[in-house]
Amino acid sequence: MKWVFAYLKPLAGRITLGVTIKIIGTAAELIIPFLLSYILENVIESNNAGRIVYYGILMALCAIVASLGNITANRMAAKTTMLFATAMRKNLFSKTLYLSARSTDSFTIPSLESRITTDTYNVQNFIGMMQRMGIRAPILLLGGSVITLLMDRKLALVMIATLPFIFAVVYGISRMGVPLYTGVQKAVDSMVRVVREDAQGIRVIKALSKVDYENCRYDKANKTLKARETKAGAIMGIVNPVMTLLMNIGIVAVIAVSAYFVSSGKSSATTVIAFMQYFTLISMAMMSLSRMFVMYTKCAASAKRISTVLEEENELKITADDGKGNSKNHISFENVSFSYLGKTDNLTDISFSLKRGETLGIIGATGSGKSTILRLLMRFYDADKGVIRINGRDVRSYTREELTAMFGVVFQNDFLYADTIEENIRFGRDISFEDIVSAAKTAQAHGFITSFPDGFSHNVSTGGTNLSGGQRQRVLISRGIAGKPEILILDDSSSALDYKTDASLRSALSDALPDSTVITVAQRVSSVKNCDLILVVENGRIIGKGKHGELMVNCPEYREISDSQMGGAFLD
Amino acid sequence: MTDKKTKPKNKKGIFIRLGRYVLQQWPLFILAVCLTLGSNQLSLMGPRYSGAAIDAIEFETGVDFPAVWENIVLMLGCYVLSAVLSYILSLVMMHLSQRIIYKMRKQVFEKLTTLPVSFFDTHATGDIISHLSYDIDTINSTLSHDLVQILTSIYTVVGSLIFMWQISKPMILIFVLTVPVSLLFTKYRSKKVRPLFSKRAKKYGELNGFAEEMLTGSRTISAYGRQDVISSRFNKINGEAMDAFYKAEYNAALLFPTINLINNISLTLVAVMGGILYMYSQNGAILATSAFFITLGGVAQFVQYSRKFAGPINEFSNILHEIQSAFSAAERVFRILDEEPEKEDAADAKELTEVKGDVSIQDVTFGYTAERTVLKNVCVTAKKGQTVAIVGPTGAGKTTIINLLMRFYDHQKGEILIDGIPSINIKRADLRLAFNMVLQDTWLFCGTIYDNIVYGREDASPEEVYEAAKSAKIDSYIKSLPDGYNTVLSDDGVNISKGQKQLITIARAFLSKAPILILDEATSNVDSRTEIQIQNAMTALMENKTCFIIAHRLSTIQNADTILVVKDGTIIEQGNHNELIEKRGFYYSLYHSQFN
């Protein structure tokens, strides 16, 4: 929670003012019952209607001050909450984008997502609530207690004695509710899972006439959910009746005790009336206070999840180049080994080199380490052993900006976002429209883009779901080449293109970017067979290296893949 | 999710229909009504006894202890009993609403399983799920909370009013002034604030959506070094969302303190008026028989009742809003329940027992919509054991033929004959069981591997299941898992590759005894070794069966008895490999662009 204060510090002046106003408002609210009892106790006896009205006006004034104070303070609180949350979320998001690949892996994307959304909302709500109720409740509680103590110490003590019980009940039960509702949520999840599975597999279910089976499966989830909801509800349902009962018992006790005091002349019945008013205020305050404790635990957990991201070290360090590289090579891997988790190697002893303008193909099974080679080249991770060089310089000696400026890249299942096609290709870079059009032409995307009535201004939906697989890949390839990169990486990114389009793309690429080094990762032999160098990767090792013709002779694994895929790309 | 905000159209119809669900649980409902009335009556009586107790304390001749004690015991009794009743009530209401929503969820799901495939093709899964979770939850909270709340509110308002009437009629006048002001103000403000809150919710949604979208692309963003650009876009959306938050909070901040003010003014008026009346009652200016007469205990009671009275009125607009959203949710749920189910089999539909596997498609025409015909006058015949290969670019409509064969959709013209019987005259379940289907989108559910395989034929013995897995060449892999066949397949469970999942669905298909096989051959994104395994398993599966294959492999295509070439939703060429090559058409050009 400490970091939260750092964010609140610049807002200290505003918060202090808001809190002061809140205190004044709440104090005015506290005076109202006091005036009420004063009227009934003292003023009435003066037999002076004018005085009653006078005190009535005082009461009304207090009510107005209380309301105005609350309105102003709550509005100020909304403003501080807004400023706080904006800053917090801004820093968190930007920090998240700058996390190293390794940190992103260990946090996982869904978890980072929920930190930016759910967790920041939890903290934001708590900060907002603290400024409103967090001030009001303790003041009502304390002020109410003090006033009642001043009015009648013994009666007040009777009343205050019930407060711990109220706190215990609300806090205790709410805490008990937390695991119960987690259980309910899990039951909801498994019910939803059945629905999702069945909506997706409806053809199989109908084909196999499994409707009854599925109804049964669903019913089980439905029944579990019902049972858990009922149980959670039965426990949480205790809070309100018990709360009300405790409050009422407090009132009864006050009346009972006061009967004795009145008879011995130590108290008066009018005090009892005022007490009942205060008691309602105080127990309400107690209730919100106990709720706040529950909210605090939730907020503290969220705050911690946020701070672990904010405190994460982000960038890989830049180190000096050893000067041993050969600047004739555009890209070179020298005995590179790497492991994601530091246990078993994901890449072992990878070595190869490419001249500027050459093409490299990497082929191998899923999980063999093809994409890992690319990730090391772009320095998402640092190699554990060996050196990777670009233009003869160690990749670790480049700044992040220098590195990213060199690459154009299309990942496997890369992402498109909700914006125009033009913007998806430009991707926030400083690229002219003409360059975007020519990139689209090279990527064989120009035809279908201009077939949209709004052309390049056509809106892509989230994830590009309104485009076909092949169209998506071509827009992504346009993005990759629009920046005229010196190294273009295509990671399994033309798999949805038919053979003809794929071939036209490759010849257009070599015309448009003659000096760029192109690296293609693929499952299909047909996508890499014209490359200047082909690497066959298996279990993180290079088991074949050479041109298509050589590999067909020298590398049995390559030949096996090639033979099995005879027609594998047919009309796909 | 499209019309979450719209108001329900046919309120009366929805009310009656929802009411029917409640009335089906009439014993619980009546119990609930009785409990509500009882518990509220008791809690209303409480202040009465406290007033009496105070009057007994203020007794002219000193404290009247017996009366005080009597009233205290009565008061205590009322409160305890009221608490017990209200807890029982909450239990009853929960059971009532749980029974209803359990039933609703069941009905909706069972309805879904009877709907035609086209429903699932045209409705997003997320929307269907939101009906079963979000919408039914909304109905639930209204049933379990608001129903009692409404009854309680009415009872409390009326009850308090009656008690106040008994204590002092003239003082009721105060509320004639303040209640309408309070109601009108709430209504006016809510109208103003509600759109601000929906805007806030919308902006939050956009914010979440953007964060989610960009995080999935975080690798690409850092590859292109676009963090700052994307961050600044996020800040813009964040700023808008926070602005919407502030505007909503700013305007909402007015409501409750103002209502509170009106309540406090009422209290002041009660105090002043009560004070003056009490003063004159004390000094004899008002006679005990007069309507204006009031005791000190009376004033105290009146104050308490006035607070009870004000509570529900403050909540009035909230409840109204909740009921409205429950009605909208119910409307969406009912809309699913009213969907047209898959047409029932004709009364004279034939059962299909021993199927040979002759399939003949005769002059079939079909379109998903009336405007656009997808298949026109298609004629294909496959004798028992023959293979039909369907080829064509992605998205060309290859699956349409399968949709028609399985009767996921019904063709508009022509006939499909199975063993010479028109498929429309066969019971759907029998017809579908004559087909064995392996689709490219492997479909496995959350359950054990064994359950997933035996899904193919429920009466299969364990030996048959293992045999099927062996035929699919997945048996040894399954055995190598720590839990073997009992391994649970779930999102967060064991990581089984796409290829292995495909093999499990092939094992499932091996269990089926259906004579006709539908196969989707595409196996992209599977590594080459697994692909060879899958290929071999599929070839084994095809033996002695009539096969319809969405084909990608040259060997499959060349060996097929008939090749259907589908382009832009229509069959443009038909024949065997040699015939099509001779024809020098689309197939020819594709074949040559690829292999030469």
pLDDT tens track for A43-69? 777 778 888 899 999 999 999 999 999
Write down the pLDDT at residue A356: 92
Mean pLDDT, range A485-492, rounded to an integer:
92
Cα separation values, A301 from A80, A182, A200, A315, Å: 22, 15, 36, 26
The angle at the Cα of A473, spanning A468 to A479, to the nearest 5 degrees, equals 130
| A296 lies in the same domain as A433 | no
Write down the pLDDT at residue A565: 63
A549: in domain: no
Tell which residue, B146, B29, B39, B32, has the closest CA to residue B85.
Answer: B39
Interval B147-168: pLDDT, tens: 888 888 888 888 888 988 988 8
CATH code, A195: 1.20.1560.10
Rounded-to-integer distance, Cα B578 and Cα B573, Å: 13
Shortest Cα distance, chain B CAs vs residue A24, angstroms:
14
Whether chain B has a CB inside 8 Å of the CB on A61: the answer is no
Question: Maximum Cα–Cα distance for chain B, whole Å?
Answer: 123
pTM for the complete prediction?
0.75
List, as one string, the DSSP characters of A392-432: TEEGGGS-HHHHHHHEEEE-TT----SEEHHHHHHTTS---
Write down the pLDDT at residue A568: 41
Residue numbers in A near B527 (CB within 8 A): 364-368, 523
Residue that finishes a domain, picked among A309, A331, A347: A309
Whether chain B has a CB inside 8 Å of the CB on A189: the answer is no
A30: in domain: yes
Give me A23's structure tokens.
Answer: 């205190």
Instruction: Determine the residue among A248, A472, A484 to mutate to test chain B binding: the one whose Cβ has the most chain B Cβ atoms within 10 Å.
Output: A248
A205: in domain: yes
Cα separation values, B43 from A126, A504, B40, B78, B175, Å: 34, 83, 5, 6, 21
Interchain pair A259, B529: CB under 8 A: no
> Which of B102, B233, B552 comes nearest A572 by C-beta?
B552
Contact predicate A480/A489, CB 8 Å = yes
Tell me which of B375 and A228 has the higher pLDDT. A228
Write down the pLDDT at residue B5: 42
- Per-residue confidence at B6, pLDDT binned at 50, 70, 90? very low
Alpha-carbon radius of gyration of chain B: 36
- Tell me which range, B96-105, B132-141, B365-374, is most confidently predicted by mean pLDDT: B96-105
A373: in domain: no
> How many residue pairs from chains A and B have C-beta atoms closer than 8 A?
436
Interchain pair B63, A96: CB under 8 A: no
CATH code, A437: 3.40.50.300
Domain tally, chain A: 2
| A126 lies in the same domain as A251 | yes
- Hey, which residues 200-259 in chain A have their CB within 8 Å of chain B? 200-211, 213-215, 217-219, 222-223, 225-226, 229-230, 233-234, 237-238, 240-242, 244-245, 248-249, 251-252, 255-256, 258-259
| A288 lies in the same domain as A167 | yes
Rounded-to-integer distance, Cα A334 and Cα A346, Å: 16
Residue that finishes a domain, picked among A309, A331, A358: A309
Interval A337-393: pLDDT, tens: 999 877 778 899 999 999 999 999 999 876 788 889 999 999 989 999 999 999 999
| A13 lies in the same domain as A145 | yes
Task: Give the single-character DSSP code of B145.
Answer: I
- H or E stretch at A498: none
- H or E stretch at B377: strand B375-382
A400: in domain: no
Per the listing, tokens 């009205």 go with A53
Residue numbers in A near B504 (CB within 8 A): none
Shortest Cα distance, chain B CAs vs residue A351, angstroms:
23
Shortest Cα distance, chain A CAs vs residue B11, angstroms:
28
| A135 lies in the same domain as A254 | yes
Rounded-to-integer distance, Cα B250 and Cα B242, Å: 12
Residue numbers in B near A488 (CB within 8 A): none
Shortest Cα distance, chain B CAs vs residue A237, angstroms:
6
> Which of B105, B441, B528 comes nearest A565 by C-beta?
B528
> Which of B258, B279, B408 comes nearest A67 by C-beta?
B258
Residue numbers in A near B114 (CB within 8 A): 211
> Which of B90, B213, B408 comes nearest A417 by C-beta?
B213
Whether the predicted pLDDT of B111 surpasses 80: yes
A125: in domain: yes
Interval A90-142: pLDDT, tens: 999 999 998 888 888 888 888 898 899 888 998 998 998 888 888 888 988 88
- Per-residue confidence at B3, pLDDT binned at 50, 70, 90? very low
Domain of residue A268, residue span: 2-309
A365: in domain: no
Interchain pair B260, A378: CB under 8 A: no
- Tell me which range, A33-42, B75-84, B513-522, is most confidently predicted by mean pLDDT: B75-84
DSSP three-state, residue B292: coil
Whether the predicted pLDDT of B529 surpasses 70: no
A130: in domain: yes
Residue that finishes a domain, picked among A245, A280, A309: A309
